């Protein structure tokens, strides 16, 4: 079973700081497609990625878990 993370809080933070995927990627020295792949669980964020993004979005190091390591809860339908 593959682990998937929920980046909705990170996306909200991007929005509140008025960063599009393209703008944030540029600010942290990453391609837009690279950031998009990470936000969509197709690639993993590196420690360096997390630190650079946290600096730009003013995320405290103590809060990294909330933004980068929140497990995705799969939606299941009831029958």
Residue-wise pLDDT for 11-38, tens only, equals 999 999 999 999 999 999 999 999 999 9
Q: Which stretches of 1-79 are DSSP H helices?
A: 8-16, 21-27, 32-39, 47-56, 64-68
Q: No. of H helices and E strands in the chain?
A: 5, 0
Q: Report whether pLDDT(75) > 70.
A: no
**The pLDDT of residue 72:** 83
- CA-CA distance, 21 to 10, in Å (whole number)? 11
What is the set of domains in the chain, with CATH numbers?
8-66 (1.10.260.40)
Q: Compute the average pLDDT of residues 61-68.
A: 95
**The pLDDT of residue 36:** 98
């Amino acid at each position: 079973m593959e682990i998937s993370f929920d980046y909705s809080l990170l996306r909200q933070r991007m929005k509140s700081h008025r960063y599009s995927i393209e703008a944030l990627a540029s600010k942290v020295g990453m391609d837009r497609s690279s950031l998009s792949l990470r936000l969509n669980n197709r690639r993993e964020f590196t420690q360096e990625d997390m630190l650079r993004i946290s600096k730009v979005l003013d995320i405290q190091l103590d809060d990294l878990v909330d933004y980068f390591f929140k497990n995705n809860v799969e939606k299941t339908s009831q029958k």
